[in-house]
Amino acid sequence: MVDYSVKGQVALLEVNNPPVNALSTAVRTGLRDGIAKASKDPKVKAIIICGKGQTFPAGADIREFGQPPRAPWLIEVGDSIEASLKPVVAAIHGTCLGGGLEVSLFCHYRIAVKSARVGFPEVNLGLLPGAAGTQRLPRLVGLPVALDMITSGRHVTALDAKKYGILDELVAGDLINAAIKYAMSVVGKPLMERRLRYKQVPGADKAREVCEAAMAQVKRKYKGYEAPVECVRAVRASVDLPYADGIRMESELFKQLNASGQARAQQYAFFAERTVSRWSMPNGSYRTAKALPVKTTAVLGAGTMGTGIAVCLLSAGLPVILLEQNEKLLQNGLRTIKALMEGSVKLGKVPMEVAQKATTLLKPTLNYEDLKDVDLVIEAVFENLKLKREVFGKLDKICKPSALLCSNTSTLDIDLAATSRPDKVAGMHFFAPAYHMRLLENIYGTKTSFMVEEGANPYEIDQIMEDLGMPMGPFKVRDLSGIDIGWRITQEVAKSLGTTITKETKYLGGERYCGIGDDLYEKGRHGRKTGLGFYKYEKKGGKISTPDPDALDIIEAYRQRRGIVKCKISSQEVIERQMYSSINEGFKILEEGICTRPEDIDISWLYGFTFPKYLGGPMFYASRIGLQKVYERICYYHENFPLKQRDCKDLRRRGSSTSGVYTMYPALGVVINSYCDMTTDGGGWTWVFWEVAVDAATRCCWRSPPFFYGYVEVYGYVEVCRLCRGNDNLHLLLSNGESEMRFDMEDFNNNTRYLQYTTFTVGNETSRYLATLSGPSGNVGT
């Protein structure tokens, strides 16, 4: 895993662990042994660490985070590199990330080719750099750069890394030859000043202000994510604590994060993203499919979606012909595209040169003939089947036979677009905003307005879902995508069912129908574009939403017209009805074979709805709650509300499984052993200890030390103390016979360091129970 050779007076340690030279146990061992061997060899004057193949090590082996940690620890390997009495040079190409960058920071010198990138992406996996990165990078580059790199996870170009002082030299030509030359040039120079542990963090006098500002920023920017917050804490320790204590704190925080649900979810998402690219369909797979070259494109319709799609294509450097039916609509569209491009440049999402080039790549037209040579057409006209059929008829006549004709429809049956080339016709549903979202797919939406009909307030629902981690609540999303679009879609659906929608319509196609959107539509409240929807906006096309009493009046008038008595809906119910119906739909999609793996559905949500990565996706979320509970709650809503939840046999089957904490995904693991005990000290405090071991199913290994473990002080008499499996998770149950407290294991786990120092009171009359501790201590198996 590490190839050892000696070139002249230089020992070469080449990490050889394709595809990304991850720092597996074997690689760590190889590095440690290589350093020891080179140190002993009198011929060797300097040592080079580099990567074979496409890259310097791109980090720890992520798969090992789900297994018992194995020596040698990366930090020990690093210590031996730094302690070497012969200079060690990191020769970097490709991506030097995470543990790879940490290894290089233990080296005395770092050189790289210009195309290399360095970074600490651990935060994207719910972690922090755990092999001294949080203590060493600040010592090298100062707090602002270290905080930015570690909390964002961004990859830094070699040029910038040189500017920051991470790299000592950029080299051209053959990296190994350049590294040998460089290594020989530093032989004999003092090494002490190259050992980062002995350096002070530059600008340490400003540490408090800088770290507080960084903390405020990450809490705002990465709301709900734990890792960025802990990253700031760890980096701050590089100033507040001596090196060795800082390392201890980093390690503690790393372990806590790695045991958290967020890290599990984010690491699951990392692999899920890669799994979904390995698709397979009855008529082919990613292995057999050949990409068609697309050099020229056209977009039909310059409304919200059309302009968004055009920006997406232009940002990718593709020429776009934008077609509209009249000059006024065309000019409006061009203005929107210009504004969106400028906005993307300001946000740093599109480089200035790309935006400038886009002006030459965009060609407006009113003439279908101009589309005759394009490779790809994306239709984004109104959701009206008759109109779309007309459009496809024209395209079929004009476009070259090899052109792909795609529709951005989210609802209409693509097979109804009658053309002479059905194999070249596809649905290509972009998610709004089309230039931002990474998903291109067809997905059913959730039936979010039901709850508003019954009495919930749309602003509360949005707030609850945003608190859960969604970047935008469902009603803000509806305003963004256009209430008129929803209106048109339902009109078309009704038509296709041979019916019409009236003020009295309560069911459509056997599903409950809510007409609140129709009432808003009729009042000209079409969403952001008209400045009014469920919310009001600062201007037409504005982004700043404020609750609007007029919208609430429209909703209330609707309820009264329908004789609906307003009722209170709890936050829990909002979440369940939002999430569980989507989960149910997800299982249905699997059952129908539309998607083959839960990862496909989760990635759709992560990309298409910006579902928070720290929850993994709705299917992963379901597995954490327990499918049995999800299924029971779906049945409950099905029985108690006139909702037509499609009954999913697969979920029913899985949900009725009672074996253990049911898990759907290997990444989650299965609880195979749990234990808890308590004891009391002389001061009347009860100490509760627990341990839960988890088997990461497919990898057939134990997670040890156990996935959940910890202890807590309890103030008060505790009769029963046990780990029990609740509906949704493992709980620690404390009871004094009269009252009980349940703690979610994950909360414990995430907050161990607080809970260790926190006291809990069991029951109301604590003093009565203070002195004694009796009764059985619990010990549950699974």
Looking at the annotation, which residues are catalytic? 102, 122
Q: Which is nearer to ligand LUC3G6IP, 274 or 397 (CB)?
A: 274
Look at the alpha carbons of 614, 618, 624, 630 in this order and tell me if their dihedral is positive or negative.
positive
Binding mask 128-147 for ligand LUC3G6IP (x = CB under 6 A): -xxx----------------
Residues 104 and 90: beta-carbon distance below 8 Å: yes
Q: How many C-beta atoms surround the C-beta of residue 255 within 10 A? A: 16
Q: Which of residues 5-64 bind ligand LUC3G6IP (CB under 6 A)?
A: 19-20, 22, 58-63
**How many Å is the Cα radius of gyration of the chain?**
30
Binding pattern for the stretch 571-610 against ligand LUC3G6IP, x by CB under 6 A and - elsewhere: ----------------------------------------
Residue closer to ligand LUC3G6IP by CB (options 258, 604) is 258
Helix (H, G, I), strand (E, B) or coil at 729: coil
305 near 380, Cβ under 8 Å?
yes
Rank residues 251 and 777 by Cβ distance to ligand LUC3G6IP and give the closer one.
251
With contacts defined by CB under 6 A, name the span among 254-262, 288-296, 438-446, 531-539 that binds ligand LUC3G6IP.
254-262
470 near ligand LUC3G6IP, rule: CB under 6 A: no
Instruction: State yes or no: residue 655 binds ligand LUC3G6IP (CB under 6 A).
Output: no
Helix or strand or coil: residue 297? strand
Find the shortest distance in angstroms from Cβ 477 to ligand LUC3G6IP: 29
122 binds ligand LUC3G6IP (CB under 6 A): yes
CB 596, min distance to ligand LUC3G6IP, A = 16
Q: Which residue has the tokens 């990565």?
A: 613
Calpha distance 420→397 (Å, rounded): 9
Q: Which two tokens stand for residue 82?
A: 């730094």
Q: How far apart are CA 400 and CA 395, in angstroms?
A: 9
Token pair 């051209």: residue:
172
Q: Check residue 125 for interaction with ligand LUC3G6IP (CB under 6 A).
A: yes
Alpha carbons 675 and 732: distance in angstroms, whole number: 10
Q: Which is nearer to ligand LUC3G6IP, 130 or 473 (CB)?
A: 130
What is the number of alpha carbons within 13 Å of residue 554 lying toward its C-beta?
A: 20
Closest contact distance (angstroms) between CB of 361 and ligand LUC3G6IP is 27
Token pair 């600062």 in the structure block, residue: 538
Closest to ligand LUC3G6IP by CB, 255 vs 338, is: 255
Interacting residues of 89 by C-beta distance below 8 A, sequence separation 6+: 46, 47, 48, 49, 107, 108, 109, 110, 111, 179, 182, 183, 186
Q: Which is nearer to ligand LUC3G6IP, 252 or 511 (CB)?
A: 252
Max Cα–Cα distance, the chain, nearest Å: 93
Report the first-to-last Cα separation within the chain, whole angstroms: 40
Nearer to ligand LUC3G6IP, 20 or 374 (CB): 20
Please give the full DSSP string across 86-110, using - where no structure is assigned. S-EEEEE-SEEETHHHHHHHHSSEE
Q: How far is the CB of 245 from ligand LUC3G6IP (least distance, A)?
A: 17
Residue 216 or 244 with smaller CB distance to ligand LUC3G6IP = 244
Q: Closest Cα partner for 304 from 14, 126, 529?
A: 529
Q: Rounded distance, CA 293 to CA 585, Å?
A: 34
The distance of closest approach from Cβ of residue 254 to ligand LUC3G6IP in the complex, given in angstroms and rounded to an integer, is 5
Q: How far is the CB of 259 from ligand LUC3G6IP (least distance, A)?
A: 8
The binder of ligand LUC3G6IP chosen from 51, 99, 612, 778 (CB under 6 A): 99
Under rule CB under 6 A, residue 121 binds ligand LUC3G6IP? yes
Q: Does 743 bind ligand LUC3G6IP (CB under 6 A)?
A: no
Helix, strand and coil content of the chain, in percent to the nearest 5, comes to 45, 20, 35
Q: Which is nearer to ligand LUC3G6IP, 319 or 598 (CB)?
A: 598
Q: What residues numbered 67-86 form the site for ligand LUC3G6IP, per CB under 6 A?
A: 69, 73-74
Residue 693 within binding range of ligand LUC3G6IP, rule CB under 6 A: no
Closer Cβ to ligand LUC3G6IP, 20 or 514, answer by number:
20
Query: Cβ(780)–Cβ(674) under 8 Å?
Result: yes
| Site mask for ligand LUC3G6IP (CB under 6 A), range 346-365, x = bound | --------------------
Rounded to a whole number of angstroms, the minimum distance from the CB of residue 698 to ligand LUC3G6IP is 14
Residues that bind ligand LUC3G6IP (rule: CB under 6 A) add up to a total of 26
Binding mask 267-306 for ligand LUC3G6IP (x = CB under 6 A): -------x--------------------------------
Task: Please select the residue that binds ligand LUC3G6IP; options are 95, 104, 530, 628, rule is CB under 6 A.
Answer: 95
Shortest distance (Å) from residue 59 CB to ligand LUC3G6IP: 3
User: At closest approach, how far in Å is the CB of 739 from ligand LUC3G6IP?
Assistant: 36
- Per DSSP, what are the bridge partners of residue 686? 680, 714
What residues contact residue 709 under an 8 Å CB cut-off, 6+ apart? Answer: 690, 691, 692
DSSP annotation of 423 reads G
Q: Find the length of the chain.
A: 782
Which one, 77 or 211, has the nearer CB to ligand LUC3G6IP?
Answer: 77
Single residue of 11, 97, 178, 232 touching ligand LUC3G6IP by CB under 6 A: 97
Give yes or no for a contact between 316 and 349, defined as CB atoms under 8 angstroms apart: no
Q: Which is nearer to ligand LUC3G6IP, 105 or 385 (CB)?
A: 105
Nearer to ligand LUC3G6IP, 18 or 242 (CB): 18
- Residue 722, CB-side half-sphere exposure with 13 Å CA sphere: 14
254 binds ligand LUC3G6IP (CB under 6 A): yes
Shortest distance, position 62 Cβ to ligand LUC3G6IP, whole Å? 4
**Smallest gap, in angstroms, from Cβ of residue 23 to ligand LUC3G6IP?**
7
The nearest distance, CB 507 to ligand LUC3G6IP, in angstroms, is: 45
Q: Which residues pair with 721 in a beta bridge?
A: 734, 777
The number of beta carbons lying within 10 Å of the beta carbon of residue 64 is: 17
Which two structure tokens, joined as six digits, stand for 761? 């009171």
Q: CA 514 to CA 462: how far, in whole Å?
A: 18
Q: Where are the alpha helices (DSSP H) in 279-432?
A: 304-315, 327-346, 352-361, 385-398
Place of tokens 């190259």: 194
Q: Is there binding between residue 781 and ligand LUC3G6IP (CB under 6 A)?
A: no
Rule CB under 6 A: choose which of 51, 66, 87, 98 binds ligand LUC3G6IP. 98
Residues near 384 by beta carbon (within 8 Å), at least 6 away in sequence: 488, 492
694 binds ligand LUC3G6IP (CB under 6 A): no
Burial group, residue 575, by CB count within 10 angstroms (0-12, 13-18, 19+): middle
Specify the residue for token string 């009014």.
Answer: 532
Q: Within 500-648, where are the H helices?
A: 516-522, 549-562, 571-591, 598-608, 618-625, 627-640
Q: How many helices (H) and strands (E) does the chain have?
A: 29, 28
Site for ligand LUC3G6IP, rule CB under 6 A: 19-20, 22, 58-63, 69, 73-74, 95, 97-99, 121-122, 125, 129-131, 254-255, 258, 274
